[in-house]
């Protein structure tokens, strides 16, 4: 907002580009994680477009879903398109005794994937842009 109001259009455009790229990345992560593997490209595109308006909330959804709350899992199963991560973990075929560390790492990744995507795609680029703007005097 500050860039737009102060007539720094290039910073505003860069900031909005970062925001849009991050939103697309969140929606893509949602599709890649939750759409059943046997679904086609058209279904994936429809889910991507449906998730896009809510994409800024998807990291929170990833985090909540990683706790395998029964209500959320049932909601995903009811769509007949989306699959909860608990089903993906069960179908991986890993032995619980021999792969406890791997299972723990996968669980941590699933729990924090949305927040890692947010940091990489939005927070770091926005911080760099704002730091550069401040250093060049555009953010005064």
Least confident of 66-75, 80-89, 98-107, 109-118: 98-107
* Cα-trace Rg, the chain: 19
The pLDDT > 90 percentage for the chain reads: 44
Task: Specify the pLDDT at position 136.
Answer: 87
Contact yes or no for 65/84 (Cβ under 8 A): yes
The mean per-residue pLDDT over the stretch 66-95 comes to: 81
Question: What pTM was computed for the model?
Answer: 0.77
Q: Which stretches of 39-96 are DSSP H helices? A: 41-51, 58-65, 70-78, 85-90
C-alpha closest to that of 90 among 60, 112, 68: 68
Contact yes or no for 103/89 (Cβ under 8 A): yes
Task: Specify the pLDDT at position 104.
Answer: 72
- pLDDT classification of 137: cutoffs 50, 70, 90: confident
Examine the pLDDT at 71 and tell me if it is beyond 60.
yes
pLDDT tens, 97-108?
Answer: 556 776 777 777
Residue 95 to residue 124: CA distance in whole angstroms: 38
Contact yes or no for 103/95 (Cβ under 8 A): no
Average of per-residue pLDDT values in the chain? 85
Contact yes or no for 118/124 (Cβ under 8 A): no
């Amino acid at each position: 907002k500050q860039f737009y109001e102060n007539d720094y259009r290039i910073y505003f455009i860069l900031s909005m580009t970062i925001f849009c790229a991050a939103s697309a990345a969140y929606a893509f992560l949602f599709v890649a994680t939750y759409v059943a593997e046997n679904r086609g490209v058209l279904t994936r595109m429809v889910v991507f477009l449906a998730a896009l308006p809510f994409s800024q909330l998807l990291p929170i959804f990833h985090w909540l879903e990683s706790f395998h709350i029964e209500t959320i899992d049932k909601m995903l199963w009811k769509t007949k398109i989306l699959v909860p991560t608990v089903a993906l973990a069960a179908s991986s075929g890993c032995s619980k005794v021999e792969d406890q560390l791997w299972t723990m790492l996968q669980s941590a990744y699933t729990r924090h994937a949305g927040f890692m995507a947010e940091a990489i795609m939005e927070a770091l680029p926005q911080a760099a842009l704002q730091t550069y703007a401040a250093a060049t005097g555009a953010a005064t």
